[in-house]
Protein backbone atom coordinates (compact mmCIF):
# COMPACT_ATOMS: atom_id res chain seq x y z
CA UNK A 1 0.00 0.00 0.00
CA UNK A 2 1.10 3.51 -0.76
CA UNK A 3 2.81 5.05 2.29
CA UNK A 4 0.88 8.30 2.59
CA UNK A 5 -2.43 6.64 1.85
CA UNK A 6 -1.84 4.19 4.67
CA UNK A 7 -1.16 7.01 7.14
CA UNK A 8 -4.37 8.76 6.15
CA UNK A 9 -6.38 5.55 6.26
CA UNK A 10 -5.18 4.42 9.69
CA UNK A 11 -5.66 7.83 11.27
CA UNK A 12 -9.12 8.15 9.74
CA UNK A 13 -10.14 4.72 11.00
CA UNK A 14 -8.89 5.48 14.52
CA UNK A 15 -10.72 8.80 14.72
CA UNK A 16 -13.87 7.24 13.27
CA UNK A 17 -13.72 4.49 15.88
CA UNK A 18 -13.20 7.07 18.61
CA UNK A 19 -16.16 9.07 17.34
CA UNK A 20 -18.38 6.00 17.33
CA UNK A 21 -17.47 5.05 20.91
CA UNK A 22 -17.94 8.62 22.14
CA UNK A 23 -21.38 8.96 20.56
CA UNK A 24 -22.46 5.71 22.23
CA UNK A 25 -21.19 6.81 25.65
CA UNK A 26 -22.70 10.26 25.22
CA UNK A 27 -26.15 8.91 24.46
CA UNK A 28 -25.93 6.48 27.39
CA UNK A 29 -24.95 9.18 29.89
CA UNK A 30 -27.08 12.05 28.57
CA UNK A 31 -30.07 11.38 30.81
CA UNK A 32 -28.18 10.65 34.05
CA UNK A 33 -26.16 13.86 33.54
CA UNK A 34 -29.26 15.99 32.99
CA UNK A 35 -30.77 14.39 36.09
CA UNK A 36 -27.64 15.12 38.18
CA UNK A 37 -27.65 18.77 37.12
CA UNK A 38 -31.36 19.04 37.91
CA UNK A 39 -30.83 17.46 41.33
CA UNK A 40 -27.99 19.85 42.11
CA UNK A 41 -30.23 22.84 41.28
CA UNK A 42 -33.13 21.32 43.22
CA UNK A 43 -30.92 20.77 46.28
CA UNK A 44 -29.94 24.45 46.27
CA UNK A 45 -33.57 25.49 45.73
CA UNK A 46 -34.75 23.31 48.64
CA UNK A 47 -32.12 24.92 50.86
CA UNK A 48 -33.19 28.51 50.20
CA UNK A 49 -36.93 28.37 49.59
CA UNK A 50 -39.67 28.26 52.23
CA UNK A 51 -41.37 24.83 52.28
CA UNK A 52 -42.76 23.99 48.81
CA UNK A 53 -44.49 20.91 47.44
CA UNK A 54 -44.03 21.57 43.71
CA UNK A 55 -40.87 21.29 41.60
CA UNK A 56 -39.63 24.89 41.56
CA UNK A 57 -37.30 24.15 38.65
CA UNK A 58 -40.32 23.51 36.42
CA UNK A 59 -42.16 26.71 37.39
CA UNK A 60 -39.92 29.52 36.23
CA UNK A 61 -39.98 33.05 34.82
CA UNK A 62 -37.08 34.53 32.87
CA UNK A 63 -36.41 38.25 32.93
CA UNK A 64 -33.85 40.37 31.14
CA UNK A 65 -31.35 41.85 33.61
CA UNK A 66 -29.07 43.67 31.17
CA UNK A 67 -26.39 43.09 28.58
CA UNK A 68 -22.96 41.60 28.95
CA UNK A 69 -19.83 43.22 27.50
CA UNK A 70 -20.49 41.89 24.02
CA UNK A 71 -24.05 43.15 24.04
CA UNK A 72 -25.72 39.80 24.47
CA UNK A 73 -28.80 39.62 26.66
CA UNK A 74 -28.35 38.40 30.21
CA UNK A 75 -31.35 36.57 31.60
CA UNK A 76 -32.16 35.75 35.20
CA UNK A 77 -34.36 32.76 35.99
CA UNK A 78 -36.82 33.00 38.86
CA UNK A 79 -37.79 29.65 40.37
CA UNK A 80 -41.18 29.67 42.06
CA UNK A 81 -41.99 27.43 44.99
CA UNK A 82 -45.61 26.64 45.86
CA UNK A 83 -47.33 25.11 48.84
CA UNK A 84 -50.73 23.66 47.85
CA UNK A 85 -50.79 25.89 44.78
CA UNK A 86 -50.12 29.09 46.75
CA UNK A 87 -46.88 30.89 45.92
CA UNK A 88 -44.63 30.38 48.96
CA UNK A 89 -41.30 31.71 47.76
CA UNK A 90 -39.13 32.71 44.82
CA UNK A 91 -35.50 31.76 44.29
CA UNK A 92 -32.98 33.28 41.90
CA UNK A 93 -29.24 33.25 41.28
CA UNK A 94 -27.08 36.32 41.72
CA UNK A 95 -23.43 36.72 40.83
CA UNK A 96 -20.99 38.70 42.95
CA UNK A 97 -18.25 39.80 40.56
CA UNK A 98 -16.21 41.53 43.28
CA UNK A 99 -15.12 38.58 45.43
CA UNK A 100 -11.49 38.09 46.42
CA UNK A 101 -10.83 35.76 43.49
CA UNK A 102 -13.37 35.40 40.74
CA UNK A 103 -17.13 35.33 40.75
CA UNK A 104 -19.23 34.09 43.63
CA UNK A 105 -22.62 32.73 42.59
CA UNK A 106 -25.31 32.77 45.22
CA UNK A 107 -28.81 31.27 45.20
CA UNK A 108 -31.21 33.58 47.05
CA UNK A 109 -34.65 32.56 48.25
CA UNK A 110 -37.21 35.23 49.13
CA UNK A 111 -40.81 35.28 50.27
CA UNK A 112 -43.34 36.81 47.82
CA UNK A 113 -43.05 40.03 49.89
CA UNK A 114 -39.29 40.24 49.31
CA UNK A 115 -37.87 39.07 52.65
CA UNK A 116 -34.90 36.71 52.41
CA UNK A 117 -35.76 33.12 53.37
CA UNK A 118 -32.26 31.75 52.89
CA UNK A 119 -29.13 31.92 50.75
CA UNK A 120 -26.80 29.25 49.45
CA UNK A 121 -23.32 29.75 48.00
CA UNK A 122 -23.21 27.77 44.72
CA UNK A 123 -19.69 28.37 43.43
CA UNK A 124 -16.72 30.42 44.58
CA UNK A 125 -12.92 30.45 44.51
CA UNK A 126 -12.31 32.32 47.75
CA UNK A 127 -9.23 31.53 49.84
CA UNK A 128 -9.63 28.24 51.73
CA UNK A 129 -9.87 28.91 55.46
CA UNK A 130 -10.56 32.64 55.10
CA UNK A 131 -12.99 33.81 52.44
CA UNK A 132 -14.54 30.36 52.07
CA UNK A 133 -16.17 30.82 55.47
CA UNK A 134 -19.03 32.46 53.53
CA UNK A 135 -20.10 28.82 53.07
CA UNK A 136 -20.59 28.28 56.81
CA UNK A 137 -24.17 28.19 58.12
CA UNK A 138 -23.25 30.85 60.72
CA UNK A 139 -22.71 33.36 57.91
CA UNK A 140 -25.57 32.29 55.63
CA UNK A 141 -28.08 32.36 58.49
CA UNK A 142 -27.58 36.10 59.06
CA UNK A 143 -29.52 36.78 55.86
CA UNK A 144 -32.75 34.99 56.79
CA UNK A 145 -35.57 37.36 57.74
CA UNK A 146 -33.86 40.45 56.34
CA UNK A 147 -35.35 42.67 53.63
CA UNK A 148 -34.51 46.01 52.05
CA UNK A 149 -36.48 47.94 54.69
CA UNK A 150 -35.48 46.27 57.94
CA UNK A 151 -31.74 45.96 57.39
CA UNK A 152 -28.72 48.03 56.46
CA UNK A 153 -27.20 46.01 53.60
CA UNK A 154 -23.54 46.55 54.37
CA UNK A 155 -20.97 44.62 56.39
CA UNK A 156 -20.26 45.97 59.88
CA UNK A 157 -16.92 47.40 58.83
CA UNK A 158 -18.75 49.63 56.32
CA UNK A 159 -21.32 50.73 58.90
CA UNK A 160 -23.97 48.10 58.13
CA UNK A 161 -25.21 45.21 60.19
CA UNK A 162 -23.77 42.11 58.52
CA UNK A 163 -20.99 40.42 60.45
CA UNK A 164 -17.91 40.14 58.34
CA UNK A 165 -15.67 37.15 58.87
CA UNK A 166 -12.47 37.58 60.88
CA UNK A 167 -9.64 38.07 58.43
CA UNK A 168 -11.90 38.31 55.40
CA UNK A 169 -14.06 41.33 54.67
CA UNK A 170 -14.00 41.27 50.89
CA UNK A 171 -15.88 38.00 50.40
CA UNK A 172 -18.81 38.80 52.76
CA UNK A 173 -18.98 42.32 51.35
CA UNK A 174 -19.30 40.89 47.83
CA UNK A 175 -22.02 38.46 48.90
CA UNK A 176 -23.99 41.09 50.82
CA UNK A 177 -23.78 43.49 47.87
CA UNK A 178 -24.89 40.86 45.36
CA UNK A 179 -27.85 39.77 47.50
CA UNK A 180 -28.87 43.42 47.96
CA UNK A 181 -28.76 44.00 44.19
CA UNK A 182 -30.84 40.88 43.69
CA UNK A 183 -33.42 42.08 46.21
CA UNK A 184 -33.59 45.49 44.54
CA UNK A 185 -34.15 43.87 41.17
CA UNK A 186 -36.87 41.68 42.67
CA UNK A 187 -38.53 44.73 44.28
CA UNK A 188 -38.51 46.64 40.97
CA UNK A 189 -39.81 43.69 38.93
CA UNK A 190 -41.98 42.01 41.55
CA UNK A 191 -45.13 42.36 39.46
CA UNK A 192 -43.59 40.62 36.44
CA UNK A 193 -42.10 37.83 38.54
CA UNK A 194 -45.37 37.10 40.32
CA UNK A 195 -47.88 38.10 37.63
CA UNK A 196 -47.31 35.29 35.16
CA UNK A 197 -47.85 32.91 38.02
CA UNK A 198 -51.58 33.57 38.04
CA UNK A 199 -52.53 32.25 34.61
CA UNK A 200 -50.47 29.07 34.77
CA UNK A 201 -51.41 25.91 36.49
CA UNK A 202 -49.23 25.10 39.48
CA UNK B 1 10.70 -8.94 32.76
CA UNK B 2 7.82 -10.92 34.18
CA UNK B 3 4.23 -9.66 34.39
CA UNK B 4 4.64 -9.30 38.12
CA UNK B 5 7.65 -7.04 37.69
CA UNK B 6 5.83 -4.99 35.05
CA UNK B 7 3.04 -4.51 37.54
CA UNK B 8 5.10 -3.79 40.64
CA UNK B 9 7.62 -1.33 39.21
CA UNK B 10 5.00 1.45 39.19
CA UNK B 11 4.63 1.47 42.95
CA UNK B 12 8.13 2.31 44.05
CA UNK B 13 11.05 1.83 41.67
CA UNK B 14 9.44 3.72 38.76
CA UNK B 15 6.65 5.50 40.62
CA UNK B 16 5.29 8.14 38.27
CA UNK B 17 5.11 11.01 40.75
CA UNK B 18 7.90 10.31 43.22
CA UNK B 19 10.45 8.70 40.89
CA UNK B 20 9.83 9.80 37.30
CA UNK B 21 8.28 13.15 38.37
CA UNK B 22 5.67 12.78 35.63
CA UNK B 23 2.09 14.08 35.81
CA UNK B 24 3.00 16.63 38.46
CA UNK B 25 0.40 19.19 37.36
CA UNK B 26 -2.64 17.18 38.51
CA UNK B 27 -0.61 15.63 41.33
CA UNK B 28 0.03 19.05 42.86
CA UNK B 29 -3.23 20.75 41.93
CA UNK B 30 -6.00 18.37 42.99
CA UNK B 31 -4.47 16.83 46.11
CA UNK B 32 -6.16 19.16 48.60
CA UNK B 33 -7.79 16.10 50.16
CA UNK B 34 -7.19 12.35 50.17
CA UNK B 35 -10.53 11.76 48.46
CA UNK B 36 -9.72 14.09 45.55
CA UNK B 37 -6.32 12.41 45.15
CA UNK B 38 -7.91 8.97 45.10
CA UNK B 39 -10.59 10.00 42.57
CA UNK B 40 -8.09 11.65 40.25
CA UNK B 41 -5.73 8.68 40.53
CA UNK B 42 -8.41 6.12 39.71
CA UNK B 43 -9.69 8.16 36.74
CA UNK B 44 -6.12 8.36 35.42
CA UNK B 45 -5.58 4.63 36.00
CA UNK B 46 -8.69 3.79 33.99
CA UNK B 47 -7.53 5.94 31.06
CA UNK B 48 -4.01 4.55 31.28
CA UNK B 49 -5.08 0.90 31.27
CA UNK B 50 -7.56 1.42 28.41
CA UNK B 51 -5.10 3.38 26.29
CA UNK B 52 -2.37 0.80 26.93
CA UNK B 53 -4.74 -1.98 25.81
CA UNK B 54 -5.71 -0.23 22.57
CA UNK B 55 -2.22 1.04 21.76
CA UNK B 56 -0.72 -2.38 22.38
CA UNK B 57 -3.32 -4.18 20.25
CA UNK B 58 -2.92 -1.69 17.40
CA UNK B 59 0.87 -1.42 17.64
CA UNK B 60 1.43 -3.28 14.35
CA UNK B 61 -1.27 -1.31 12.52
CA UNK B 62 -0.31 2.24 13.49
CA UNK B 63 2.52 3.58 11.28
CA UNK B 64 5.34 5.22 13.23
CA UNK B 65 4.81 8.56 11.47
CA UNK B 66 1.30 9.07 12.83
CA UNK B 67 1.70 7.29 16.14
CA UNK B 68 1.57 10.43 18.33
CA UNK B 69 -1.71 11.78 16.85
CA UNK B 70 -3.16 8.27 17.02
CA UNK B 71 -2.20 7.89 20.69
CA UNK B 72 -3.63 11.32 21.53
CA UNK B 73 -6.95 10.53 19.83
CA UNK B 74 -7.16 7.23 21.71
CA UNK B 75 -6.28 8.85 25.04
CA UNK B 76 -8.62 11.81 24.52
CA UNK B 77 -11.51 9.48 23.73
CA UNK B 78 -11.07 7.53 26.96
CA UNK B 79 -10.72 10.76 28.95
CA UNK B 80 -14.04 11.97 27.52
CA UNK B 81 -15.63 8.63 28.40
CA UNK B 82 -14.37 9.01 31.99
CA UNK B 83 -15.54 12.61 32.13
CA UNK B 84 -19.08 11.79 30.96
CA UNK B 85 -19.36 8.81 33.31
CA UNK B 86 -18.09 10.80 36.29
CA UNK B 87 -20.53 13.62 35.62
CA UNK B 88 -23.36 11.08 35.35
CA UNK B 89 -22.58 8.95 38.40
CA UNK B 90 -20.21 10.75 40.81
CA UNK B 91 -21.29 14.37 40.35
CA UNK B 92 -19.71 15.79 43.53
CA UNK B 93 -16.28 14.37 42.74
CA UNK B 94 -16.66 15.60 39.16
CA UNK B 95 -17.30 19.12 40.49
CA UNK B 96 -14.36 18.91 42.89
CA UNK B 97 -11.86 17.81 40.23
CA UNK B 98 -13.18 20.34 37.70
CA UNK B 99 -10.88 21.23 34.83
CA UNK B 100 -8.33 18.55 35.79
CA UNK B 101 -10.42 15.71 34.39
CA UNK B 102 -10.22 16.90 30.74
CA UNK B 103 -6.56 17.70 31.41
CA UNK B 104 -5.83 13.98 31.94
CA UNK B 105 -5.39 14.05 28.14
CA UNK B 106 -2.15 15.96 28.49
CA UNK B 107 -0.88 13.97 31.47
CA UNK B 108 2.53 13.02 30.12
CA UNK B 109 2.47 9.81 32.18
CA UNK B 110 -0.20 8.34 29.87
CA UNK B 111 1.39 9.36 26.58
CA UNK B 112 4.74 8.32 28.05
CA UNK B 113 3.55 4.79 28.80
CA UNK B 114 1.86 4.47 25.38
CA UNK B 115 5.05 5.54 23.62
CA UNK B 116 7.65 3.85 25.82
CA UNK B 117 5.90 0.63 26.77
CA UNK B 118 2.53 -0.24 25.21
CA UNK B 119 3.62 0.39 21.61
CA UNK B 120 6.54 -2.04 22.03
CA UNK B 121 4.99 -4.81 24.11
CA UNK B 122 2.29 -7.44 23.84
CA UNK B 123 -1.15 -7.02 25.35
CA UNK B 124 -0.70 -8.67 28.76
CA UNK B 125 2.51 -6.88 29.76
CA UNK B 126 0.89 -3.60 28.59
CA UNK B 127 -2.10 -4.19 30.87
CA UNK B 128 0.15 -5.04 33.80
CA UNK B 129 2.22 -1.93 33.13
CA UNK B 130 -0.88 0.27 32.93
CA UNK B 131 -2.33 -1.14 36.14
CA UNK B 132 0.94 -0.83 38.04
CA UNK B 133 1.78 2.66 36.83
CA UNK B 134 -1.80 3.85 37.32
CA UNK B 135 -2.19 2.42 40.81
CA UNK B 136 1.25 3.73 41.73
CA UNK B 137 0.13 7.18 40.55
CA UNK B 138 -3.08 6.76 42.57
CA UNK B 139 -1.11 5.77 45.65
CA UNK B 140 1.15 8.81 45.28
CA UNK B 141 -1.80 11.17 44.89
CA UNK B 142 -3.58 9.56 47.82
CA UNK B 143 -0.56 9.92 50.11
CA UNK B 144 0.04 13.51 48.99
CA UNK B 145 -3.65 14.33 49.46
CA UNK B 146 -3.77 12.61 52.84
CA UNK B 147 -0.73 14.50 54.17
CA UNK B 148 -2.07 17.85 52.97
CA UNK B 149 -5.59 17.17 54.25
CA UNK B 150 -4.29 15.94 57.61
CA UNK B 151 -2.30 19.10 58.33
CA UNK B 152 -4.30 21.59 56.26
CA UNK B 153 -7.79 20.72 57.52
CA UNK B 154 -7.11 18.35 60.44
CA UNK B 155 -9.17 15.60 58.81
CA UNK B 156 -8.54 12.38 56.91
CA UNK B 157 -11.06 11.34 54.23
CA UNK B 158 -13.44 13.84 55.83
CA UNK B 159 -13.17 12.48 59.40
CA UNK B 160 -11.76 14.74 62.10
CA UNK B 161 -8.47 13.36 63.38
CA UNK B 162 -7.00 15.94 65.71
CA UNK B 163 -10.16 17.12 67.49
CA UNK B 164 -11.64 20.59 67.51
CA UNK B 165 -8.73 22.29 69.31
CA UNK B 166 -6.44 21.72 66.31
CA UNK B 167 -5.65 24.91 64.44
CA UNK B 168 -5.39 23.86 60.74
CA UNK B 169 -2.16 24.72 58.96
CA UNK B 170 -3.90 26.46 56.06
CA UNK B 171 -0.75 26.72 53.99
CA UNK B 172 -0.86 22.98 53.36
CA UNK B 173 -4.07 23.06 51.32
CA UNK B 174 -2.99 26.18 49.42
CA UNK B 175 -0.76 25.75 46.33
CA UNK B 176 2.58 26.28 48.16
CA UNK B 177 1.63 23.45 50.53
CA UNK B 178 1.54 21.08 47.55
CA UNK B 179 5.17 21.80 46.74
CA UNK B 180 6.25 21.60 50.39
CA UNK B 181 4.48 18.26 50.97
CA UNK B 182 5.82 16.92 47.67
CA UNK B 183 9.38 17.95 48.54
CA UNK B 184 9.24 16.39 52.00
CA UNK B 185 7.79 13.13 50.66
CA UNK B 186 10.47 12.97 47.95
CA UNK B 187 13.18 13.54 50.54
CA UNK B 188 11.66 10.83 52.72
CA UNK B 189 11.64 8.33 49.84
CA UNK B 190 15.24 9.11 48.93
CA UNK B 191 16.26 8.66 52.54
CA UNK B 192 14.58 5.25 52.70
CA UNK B 193 16.26 4.22 49.47
CA UNK B 194 19.66 5.36 50.68
CA UNK B 195 19.25 3.38 53.91
CA UNK B 196 18.42 0.20 52.02
CA UNK B 197 21.52 0.39 49.91
The model's pLDDT over A85-95, given as tens digits with 9 standing for 90+, comes to 788 888 888 88
| Cβ neighbours around B40 below 10 Å, total | 28
Contact A116, A147 (CB under 8 A): yes
Does B166 reside within a domain?
no
Q: Tell me whether residues B80 and A129 touch, CB distance under 8 A.
A: no
Q: Tell me whether residues A10 and B77 touch, CB distance under 8 A.
A: no
Does B189 reside within a domain?
no
> Quick one: three-class SS letters along chain A?
CCHHHHHHHHHHHHHHHHHHHHHHHHHHHHHHHHHHHHHHHHHHHHHHCCCCCCCHHHCEEEEEEEECCCCCEEEEEEEEEEECCEEEEEEEEEEECCCCCCCEEEEEEECCCCCEEEEEEEECCCCCCCHHHHHCHHHHHHHCCCCCCCCCCCEHHHCCCECCECCECHHHHHHHHHHHHHHHHHHHCHHHHHHHHHHCCC
In chain B, the number of structural domains is: 1
Give SS3 for B8. helix
Give SS3 for B37. helix
Does B29 reside within a domain?
yes
Give the pLDDT score at B51.
Answer: 93
Radius of gyration of chain B (CA): 18
DSSP symbol at B156: E
Give the pLDDT score at B133.
Answer: 92
Following DSSP, what letter does each residue of B48-102 receive, concatenated?
Answer: HHHHHHHHHHTTTTS-GGGHHHHHHHHHHHHHHHHHHHHHHH-HHHHHHHGGGTG
Does B195 reside within a domain?
no
Does B109 reside within a domain?
yes
The interface predicted TM-score of the complex, written ipTM, equals 0.75
The pLDDT tens digits for B28-80 are 888 888 888 898 899 999 999 999 999 999 988 888 888 899 999 999 999 99
Does B112 reside within a domain?
yes
Q: Tell me whether residues A7 and B91 touch, CB distance under 8 A.
A: no
Residues of A in contact with B89 (CB under 8 A): 32
Does B47 reside within a domain?
yes
Residue A37 CB partners (closer than 8 Å, separation 6+): none
The pLDDT tens digits for B43-52 are 999 999 999 9
For strand A116-123 and strand B155-156, is the pairing parallel, antiparallel, or unpaired? Answer: unpaired
Which B residues in the span 39-78 are in contact with A, Cβ-Cβ below 8 Å?
58, 61-63, 65-66, 69-70, 73-74, 76-77
Contact A142, A172 (CB under 8 A): no
Does B193 reside within a domain?
no
Identify which of A62, A174, A169, A58 has the alpha carbon closest to the alpha carbon of residue A119: A174
Taking the C-alpha atoms of residue A87 and residue A59, their distance in angstroms, rounded to an integer, is 11
Q: Does A144 touch chain B (CB under 8 A)?
A: no
Residues of A in contact with B66 (CB under 8 A): 7, 10-11
Give the pLDDT score at B183.
Answer: 92
Q: Tell me whether residues B77 and A29 touch, CB distance under 8 A.
A: no
Domain hosting B101: range is 3-147
Spans of chain B below 50 pLDDT: none
Spans of chain A below 70 pLDDT: 1-2, 196-202
Q: Does A34 touch chain B (CB under 8 A)?
A: no
Identify which of B53, B35, B132, B88 has the alpha carbon closest to the alpha carbon of residue A28: B88
Amino acid sequence: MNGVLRLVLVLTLITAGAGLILSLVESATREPIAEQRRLATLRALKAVLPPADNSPDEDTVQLLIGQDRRGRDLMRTFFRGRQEGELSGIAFKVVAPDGYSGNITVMVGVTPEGTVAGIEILTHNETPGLGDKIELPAFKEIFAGKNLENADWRVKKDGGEFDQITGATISPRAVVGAVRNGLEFFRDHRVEVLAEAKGEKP
Amino acid sequence: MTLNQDFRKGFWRENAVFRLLLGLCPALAVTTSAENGLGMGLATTFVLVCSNIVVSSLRKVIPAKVRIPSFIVIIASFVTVVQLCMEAYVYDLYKALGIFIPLIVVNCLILGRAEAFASKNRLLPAVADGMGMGLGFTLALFVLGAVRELFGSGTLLGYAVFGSSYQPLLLMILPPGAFIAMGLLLAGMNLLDARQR
